[in-house]
Every structure is written in C-alpha cells, then in structure tokens.
Amino acid sequence: MVLGIYKTTIKVVTPYIIEAQSERNARMSIEAKFEASMTQITKLRQQITQSQLLHRSPDTATSQAHRRSGEPSSIREDSATTPSMEQSCQLRDICGRTITSGRMVSDNTGIPPECIRVIIDDINVRTTELFNDDRTFEDIQLGEIVVWPKFLMKI
C-alpha cells in the first residue's frame, strides 16, 4: 500500500463507505421523487391557469345556462355533486402533511373542476405556497378563501 494506507485501515473504513453509498442512493431516490412531484405541481398550475383563462365570467355562463334550462338563477350546481356548505376539511402538501384546516365553500364557479375554494380557519405551516399564486399561507389571514386541489384535501 502507498501513502500510509494499510489493509487494516481499508477493512475498518469499508463499512462506512458502504453506508455512505447507501445514504447517497437513498438521497438520490428522494430527490427524484421530489422532482417528479414538482413537475406534477407545475403541470397542475399550468392547467389551472389555462382553465381560468378559458372560462368565461362565472355569472355570465351561469345565467345563460339557467336561461336555457328555465331553472331559477339562484341554483348554480347540482347539489349531489357539491359538498355541503362549509364542510370541514384539511389542506395537505404534496408529502401528505396537514398544512391548514378550514371549511369548503359550495360555490366553486369559475375555478377548475379539480380544485375547491376553502375558508381558512387555522394555519399549521405558514411557509407553504398557495396554488396558482405567488403568496404563501404566511401572507393570508384567517377567514380568507383560497383555492386548493381536491387531491390534496382530507374531508
């Protein structure tokens, strides 16, 4: 051996090298999952933005639909598909951690169908970003309404 490295040293260090390699592999796996999650979030944000751009004014679309069907304009959606007014829920992040709790709002016109409006009652993690918004939960107040994807909610 050269430069003071002996067989005994290599035998002692080998388990640490193996452990470091397994830690590196685990970190790379987590980073890959994180990148996939961020890609999914980016695609969802793009879909939300495109959907908002494509939707007409909710009041105009609703009144035209009700004029054609003959229903009163106070009825906006089918009550079977709409959650009850102010049903409790928890908003979660992509890792499944509960960020905040709130109450779902039944009027979700003008937002993508995969999202829902929520009145914020309690905030646990203030640094989490809002969807389709440059703000975080730190920038909002209790009682404010936010739009959140349904797949990241627990009712």
pLDDT for res 85: 57
Among the residue ranges 28-32, 83-87, 91-95, the one predicted with the least confidence is: 83-87
Count how many domains the chain has: 1
- Strand boundaries in 33-97, DSSP class E: 88-92
The answer to whether residue 52 is domain-embedded is no
- Show the tokens assigned to 151: 């797949």
DSSP 8-state assignment for residue 84: P
Residue 55 binned pLDDT confidence (cut-offs 50, 70, 90): low
In a domain, 22, yes or no: no
pTM of the model as a whole: 0.43
Answer yes or no: is 21 within a domain: no
- Residue 75 confidence (pLDDT) above 50: no
Sequence-distant (≥ 6) Cβ neighbours of residue 108 within 8 angstroms: 77, 82, 115, 116, 117
Residue 40 three-state SS: helix
